Each structure stands twice: as C-alpha cells, then as structure tokens.
Amino acid sequence: MKLSQEQIERLYEFTRQHYVEYYDLQTELVDHLANSIEEQWKENPKLSFETALNIEFKKFGIFGFMDVVDQRRLALKKKYNNLIWKHFKDFFTIPKIIVTLLIVLIVHYLIQSYSIVLSLFLTLIAFLFVGITYMFIKNKIQFKKTGKKWLFKDIIFGYSSFTSIFYIQLQFISRIDESTTFGVFWTLFFSVLITSLALFEYIICIEIPSKAEEYLKQTYPEYNLQKE
C-alpha cells in the first residue's frame, strides 16, 4: 500500500512541527518516513498511518530529527569549505596568479604606516559587513517568494562563514599601534595577509554566491532557481 498525496503532505507538516525548517532535509526525512511506513504496512496492513508514523519517529531517539539535521549541516559545511579553498587556490594558477601578485605588490607599496594598515583592515571589515547585509536581504527576499529554505543555500549566503575572518582582522587591529615598526618582514607579511583576506572575502561575498544556482542544482537535483 502506497501513501496518498495527503499523507505525504502530512509528513512534511510533521517534520516542520519537529523543527526541521529546511525543505531539502524535510524531503529526505519524508522519503525515509514514507518508505518505512510502507514497509510497516506490508507486515501489518491494519496499522493506522499516524501509529506507523509515531513508531518510526521513536526510532530517531529523544532528540528526534536534530541528529540528522546536525549531521547534514556538518557535511554541507565541509562541502562549502572545500569550495572556498578550491576558488582560493585558483588565484594561484595562471593567469590569476599574475593578478594576485600584482595586488600583493600594490598593498606592499601602500603599507608605510600604522594608519594605512588600519585603513586597509577597516576597509575589509566594511566590505564584509556590506556583503553580509546584501546576501542576508537577498536570501530573505527569495525565501519570501518560495516559502522554502535550503540548508546549503543558507551556508552559501554566509551565515557561518564570516566569524573567523572578522576575528582575524580584529585581532591584528588590536595588536598593532602607532609605535609599530613596519620593516621589510612585517610589510611583506601584512601585504600577503591583507591580500589573502581580500581574496577570501571576494570568494565568499561575490564569486560563490554568483554561482549559487549551479552549486545548488548540483546538490539538489530538484532545485530550480528560475522558480524563485
């Protein structure tokens, strides 16, 4: 015996009631629950739908679906981090490496005092803040249009990617002052650091979000950005 469309919709409602907010995870759980309920019906056709559902849900333990959500989040974060590193390493292959080295040289030329280093870090922080705000608004607008949230989409649009970059910049700002001497080593160090941070911000704020449709369709075959 197969589940009806009404029962499938009930499974989606059930996952939402148990704090699964992402449509992709809801779909995975609905598929699992539907298959399990149908297997139960093969053994006991008289079993009611709600009873079979509750039996299957109890198998997830006291935390319900939370373990499944956490495992999926960790897997997609790992996938996203790999994407960042892939894009970052691309800047050290021909012809992008030429642009990268040129940026390092320009920054190296600019760094002559504490005030310039501070200005560069503050510029990066401002760019990151603007990028976060823009992506948050864009993602919120798209969610209002579709009513569906996708976990990997939230990760791409930055809800877990910026804390470490903010922290790095704030740490360096707090550790330098007007008495800092910028010799050859420190000038080169800050040139490479600032360039690297700028590349990371460009990747997470512009490059990866601009390819979000491609990455989301690779992750979710059912995803169709054109409907948003």
Quote the pLDDT of residue 162. Answer: 65
CA dihedral defined by 89, 90, 94, 97, rounded to 10 degrees? -60
Q: Angle at Cα 213 formed by Cα 29 and Cα 24, nearest 5°? A: 5
Cis link prior to 95 (omega < 30° from 0)? yes
Query: What are the tens digits of pLDDT across the range 103-159?
Result: 999 988 888 777 888 888 889 989 988 888 888 888 888 888 888 899 999 998 865
Tell me the average pLDDT across 200-214.
91
8 Å CB contact between 11 and 33: yes
DSSP class of residue 161? T
Q: Radius of gyration of the chain from Cα atoms?
A: 24
